[in-house]
Structures are given as C-alpha cells and as structure tokens.
Structure 1
C-alpha cells in the first residue's frame, strides 16, 4: 500500500517534468506569412534562376541558412544599402560586413562561401582552356577575385607556351592607391615556373580602372626585363568596381 501511495505521489507527466527543468517550451516556429515568403522566393529562384530575383532577394536566399528563424529581408536590404550590390556585399571584408546590424560570424561565413565558390568556378573555367581564347572568362574571374578589394593587390597569371594557366599568384598587397612591384622578382618567378608568358593584374580600390603613368611605366620595365629571357607580357589588366582596363587594348604597351 505504501508502494502504491509513493508511486502515486511521485507520478508526474513527461511534459510536466520537462517543463520543470525548463526545456518544455518549443522554439518559435516561423510565422505562416514568413514561411510562405521563403517558399515563394525559393520557387521563383528555382523556376527563373538568378535573373528572377533582385540582389537583395538573392542575399535573402543565402541568409536563410544562417538565420533559419529570422526574417532575412531587412538584413539583406541593409547590406545592399551599405555596399551597393550583391557583388560588393560578398566581396566586402568580414569586419565591414559585421558593421551591419544582424550580421555575425555565421552570416559572414555563408557570404564568403558564395564568393569562394564563384572564384573556384570561374578559375576552373579558365584552367580548362587557353587563357587568351577565353578572355572574357579571365576578366570575369579577375574582377571577382579582386575588383572589390579595399587595398591594391598585384597579381600575376603565369602561362605555358600554349597559354594554359600554370599558376595564379598574388605577389603583393599595398595601400588604397599603391602596391610595390619588384621587376626582378616578377621575372624570377616566371622562370621558376617555366612560364613563357604572363598577364599582370592589379586593382584600383577607387573603382576607376584608368591606368596611371606609374602603371604604364612599371609594365614597360617588366616587358623590357622579361623579353630577353623568353617571357612575354601578354597584358596588364586593371580591375575595379566599375569595370576594367587593358593596357594592350588601350595600345599603351
């Protein structure tokens, strides 16, 4: 009898026990209107591709993974308002992204994953065939890789005798308007890689890719140093947020 009484006195439902320990409450589900919005947005993207959604909605889709229970539209719109475009958002430094209300490490990781995937895809395409036969692809890759950087970078694409890409290397980082370039080191590296041609690249953080006098002079110095050693300089490309400039196309080299 005492056993029966004790059992009855201690009898508590699983729900009550869980509530006592503070774990019974379920996470708030996404309200119906928001859940419906996510489904409609996914369907529109699935049926129409990226052209069917503006920049901020594409960002919304990406941020769904970082914020499974938060309305991502306001965050996406704040990102566009601060940086201007989808490309500039995914290319922005992590520290600047975190200045936007609602953006933390998890969201930054999702955005940077998109940029890394895009770079890997475009770089893979130019590796698959001669660089000069897929010039538009090369330009797309270069603009994606460094067109939105806040500091100047000096990059070199090293090519073999069939103009296939051997290596893609950033040789130096500089300030907002200058990157030191050492002619001897450029040529030395080309010889180390057995490259027969190179494409020089750097970015203008101002957004304007117009070459400066210093850009032209430096390119000519590299051409003069490389030519006797059997290394050709195919071009020097300057990229920026507002496009690119080719010294060869401008007949400056």
Structure 2
C-alpha cells in the first residue's frame, strides 16, 4: 500500500493507477490511466484495454485515491468497476481488484463484494 499511496495520494484530485500482470499474475508494469477532480476520474476505457492487450496482460488491478479520506466506494466507483470487469472478461483480461486508497486506509472492492 505504501507504493500506491506514494503514486496516488500526492495530489488534491483523484487519479487511477493500473497495475498490469501476466498470465501467472506477475507484475508487468503500472501506469496512471485516469485523472480528475476531488470527486471523479476521467478514464478512456478503450485506451486502458488497448494497453492491456498490447502488453499481453492477462489481468490487472485498478487503484485510485479518495482525497476526502473516505475509502468507501461511491456508486459511480462500483458501476464503473463492474463495467470494466465485464469488458475485461470479454477481452480475456481479468480485473482482479479495484483498491481505493487514502493516506490512512485502503478498501478492496473485491473483498467488499462490490463486483
């Protein structure tokens, strides 16, 4: 979580980091793929999956920050994650988890049963 906090919790706006993994679940690369305001992120889903396919990634982990300090997912977070997981399934790229991080806490949407 320290790495995610270092990457994501430095700005006042939300940002999304995507960790791409191979077919054995091993780390390939991570990239920031979405930026926004204090309450939302703009993400180009097609770009995300084009990048995953170009890397031959079999899975990915999404992580974004909540500058408010509340790590509970919003309804928009839940809907967007489910949509990403559905598209990933069709393309053969598993969305393993979506983590929401703050300076003090983290929330796993997978463990929380949100998708």
Please give the range of the TM-score, normalised by the shorter of the 2 chains. over 0.9
Cα offset for 1:152? 0.7
Partner deviation per Cα, 1:162-184 (whole Å, 9 max, x = no partner):
11111110012211111112222
State the secondary structure of the residue aligned to 2:6.
Answer: helix
1:251 equivalent to 2:107? Answer: no
How many residue pairs get aligned? The number is: 115
Match 1:173 to one of 12, 29, 35 = 35
Aligned to 1:119: none
Is this contact kept in 2: 1:149–1:203, CA < 8 A?
no
Partner deviation per Cα, 1:111-169 (whole Å, 9 max, x = no partner):
xxxxxxxxxxxxxxxxxxxxxxxxxxxx2321232134311111100000111111110
Task: Give the alignment's TM-score, normalised by structure 2.
Answer: 0.93
State the secondary structure of the residue aligned to 1:236.
Answer: strand
Match 2:84 to one of 198, 215, 222 = 222
Match 2:63 to one of 193, 201, 204 = 201
Q: How many angstroms apart in 2 are the aligned matches of 1:155 and 1:144? A: 11
Match 2:46 to one of 184, 209, 232 = 184
Q: How many angstroms apart in 2 are the aligned matches of 1:157 and 1:224? A: 18
Aligned to 2:103: 241
Q: How many angstroms apart in 1 are the aligned matches of 2:10 and 2:111? A: 22
Match 1:213 to one of 45, 50, 75 = 75
Unpaired segments ≥5 residues, structure 2: none
Q: How many angstroms apart in 1 are the aligned matches of 2:25 and 2:11? A: 27
Q: Which has the higher contact order (CA 8 A, sep 6+)?
A: 2
Q: How many angstroms apart in 2 are the aligned matches of 1:147 and 1:208? A: 13
Structure with higher strand content? 2
Aligned to 1:163: 25
Q: How many angstroms apart in 1 are the aligned matches of 2:10 and 2:101? A: 9
Q: How many angstroms apart in 2 are the aligned matches of 1:230 and 1:208? A: 32
Partner deviation per Cα, 1:28-53 (whole Å, 9 max, x = no partner):
xxxxxxxxxxxxxxxxxxxxxxxxxx
Cα offset for 1:235? 0.1
Q: CA RMSD in A?
A: 1.2
Unpaired segments ≥5 residues, structure 1: 1-138
Is this contact kept in 2: 1:186–1:222, CA < 8 A?
no
